[in-house]
Homo-oligomer: A and B are copies of this chain.
Amino acid sequence: MKTKKVAVVGASGYSGEELVGLLLHHPHAELAAVTSRQNAGQTLAQVFPKFAGHPKSRSLRFVEPKAGVLARQADVVFLALPHGVAAEYAAPLLESGCAVIDLSADFRLKSAGIYREFYGHDHPAPDLLKKSVYGLPEIYRDEIKKSLLIASPGCYPTGILLPVIPLLRSGLINSTGIIADSLSGVSGAGRKTEADYLFVECNESARPYAVPKHRHLSEIEEQLSFAARTPVTVQFTPHLIPMSRGILTTLYLAPERRFSSAVGMNALNEKIEACYANAYGDEPFIRLLDGKNLPDTKNVAGANVLEIAWRLDPRTGRLIVMSAEDNLVKGAGGQAVQSLNILCGWPETAGLV
């Protein structure tokens, strides 16, 4: 299989670091460049001792991010930058013929209007929104194959969209009244040196934040609206809890048809099971839990996997769906590599198991 050269822009954040780790061991990708303003000049091994065992870690040095230079060095460029900054690099890179896999929020929305509403300013490159594909491989695999601008989804959206989209598409649940309650490890905030993310502030602390309108709602709602073919509004509450990695999401959903008996509940259970089996039965990175198992972030730590389980509640008539993922892998770097594999025609699991 033909090797491709790849670069990571913004390689010193947590998502960038995860990407670098995956790409160093990828069988078909060759990590050709890593950028970081703050670490420019240092080798990978100096900045991240944990990569020191890899021969490339001692030769590859961080450089200042320059689109022109990157375009000559790499076939595919990953952007692991804050939102708003990624857009500055995407346009020149695309013009130079690079493929771009963007881990920021810059190209995830189709609607520039929703972008403005949630991000508080006009989109810097609205034309590119039409060209980008939402990089959720289980949903947009075919589009990813053909796109040169892949907008890799956010960590919260991944854990919400993958469980909900098949249910909406199959008409098993109502598109109104969806509630998503998520618990995130602290790496979700990025490597920001703010007091809120100090060890002492996070340890023994469970707290909601960004209530009731977190920015990720924009892509969650846009994608669910596509799946439901009708506008969908979601109640979403993120919480920060004392762990490094992982997102656990509990979804409160209303089945389209009420079940008033044990027979009805069993029938609905079978439909849900069939719906998920049909959507994800062959997916290498979705783990449908059976028996008594419920999702647990520690069981997906370091893995490009989303765990899903569900329960019908005969007392309330609701469907409770729970998911767990590693926010830095299936919620960021791993998912981006999954898109890379699809884009390059490699086995989708290459470098991810």
Contacts and interface: CB of A to CB of B under 8 A. Distances in A.
Contacts of A287: 49, 52-53
Interface string A245-261: 11010101000000000
Name the interface size band of chain A: 35 or more
B295 A353 contact: no
Interface string A207-247: 11101110000000000000000000111010101111110
Interface in A155-182: 179, 181
Chain copies in the assembly?
4
Contacts of A53: 284-285, 287, 303, 305, 353
A147 to B, nearest CB: 27
Nearest to A293: B49
A243 B206 contact: yes
A219 B199 CA distance: 28
Interface centre among A200, A203, A209, A243 (most CB of B within 10 A): A200
Interface string A304-318: 010100011101101
28 contacts: A49-B296, A49-B299, A50-B299, A50-B300, A50-B301, A52-B287, A53-B287, A53-B303, A183-B239, A183-B241, A185-B206, A186-B200, A186-B203, A199-B201, A203-B243, A204-B204, A204-B243, A204-B244, A204-B245, A204-B301, A205-B297, A206-B241, A206-B246, A206-B297, A213-B315, A233-B315, A235-B313, A241-B242
